[in-house]
């Protein structure tokens, strides 16, 4: 009985992960906060490429919180009645987000809410978190919601080490204008995709492949890479009329041995 080979169906696997934001030492700070806040509040942070945590120069945490609070009020005035901000998808997920915040606070973190939350409507305003220990679930799991931990750094080397010591993210966001920082972060990190001075928008660029790497997924789609991913290549080898195939056919002897040894030298 001959078993028929199964047809191969190309697939991509897009997972999530903790997508970092890195604010460079000489970035346009207010612009960076405003921009990443837009990315974090889209669908209340319930997107696979939402900013998950922010690496920022040590000492700028208070300025970040103040700017984020001001900007959030401008984006979503009268938050309790504002229909531009969505609810958390389910009561179960809402409770999960509350547990993440409560556990981090119990471990010593500080919570800085940008607005109220309401379990009845499942409206959960962003909460910036400072001082969250690395062991907390907030810093281990993909958040998929409006919690935003801040992680201060003292040097770019330290920030890069922090990112690279963790599983490969689906997205990485850098805010920097100096070419040296952009080049280093681009070259020395691995992520499914990267945006500079922006969040989320790389997924909308049809000419750029989109997908994960390692724990954040495999394969890519969009543009040429999407065509290549979902196409099954059929390799075809055509033998020339004059060829040396018979030189390696049995019976084997010294001649074949010499030929193989000669080939192994190259």
Catalytic sites, residue numbers = 14, 48
| Nearest by Cα to 145 from 167, 162, 161, 129 | 129
Q: What is the helix (H) or strand (E) element at residue 127, kind and residue range?
A: strand 127-130
CA distance 24 to 178: 9
| Nearest by Cα to 201 from 12, 85, 71, 42 | 42
* 223 neighbors 215 (Cβ within 8 angstroms): no
SS3 212: coil
Residue 53, C-beta contacts closer than 8 angstroms, at least 6 positions apart:
18, 20, 21, 139, 148, 149, 150, 151
SS3 191: coil
| Nearest by Cα to 45 from 250, 233, 199 | 199
CA distance 19 to 51: 5
């Amino acid at each position: 009985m001959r078993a028929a080979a199964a047809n191969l169906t190309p697939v991509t696997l897009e997972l999530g992960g903790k997508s970092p934001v890195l604010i460079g030492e000489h970035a346009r700070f207010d612009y960076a906060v405003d921009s990443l806040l837009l990315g974090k509040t889209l669908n209340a942070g319930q997107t696979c490429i939402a900013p998950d945590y922010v690496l920022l120069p040590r000492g700028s945490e208070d300025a970040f919180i103040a700017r984020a609070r001001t900007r959030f009020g401008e984006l979503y005035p009268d938050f309790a009645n504002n229909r531009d901000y969505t609810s958390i998808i389910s009561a179960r997920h809402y409770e999960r987000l509350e547990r993440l915040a409560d556990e981090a606070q119990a471990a010593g973190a500080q919570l800085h809410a940008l607005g109220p939350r309401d379990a009845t409507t499942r409206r959960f305003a962003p909460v910036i978190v400072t001082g969250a220990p690395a062991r907390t679930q907030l810093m281990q799991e993909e958040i998929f919601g409006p919690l935003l931990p801040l992680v201060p750094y003292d040097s770019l080397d330290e920030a890069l080490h922090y990112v690279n010591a963790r599983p490969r993210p689906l997205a990485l966001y850098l805010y920097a204008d100096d070419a040296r920082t952009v080049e280093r972060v681009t070259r020395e990190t691995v992520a499914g995709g990267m945006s500079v001075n922006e969040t989320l928008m790389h997924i909308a660029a049809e000419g750029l492949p989109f997908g994960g790497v390692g724990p954040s997924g495999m394969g890519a789609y969009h543009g040429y890479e999407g065509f290549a991913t979902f196409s099954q290549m059929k390799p075809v080898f055509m033998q020339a009329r004059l060829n040396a195939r018979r030189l390696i056919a049995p019976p084997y002897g010294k001649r074949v041995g010499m030929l193989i040894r000669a080939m192994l030298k190259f």
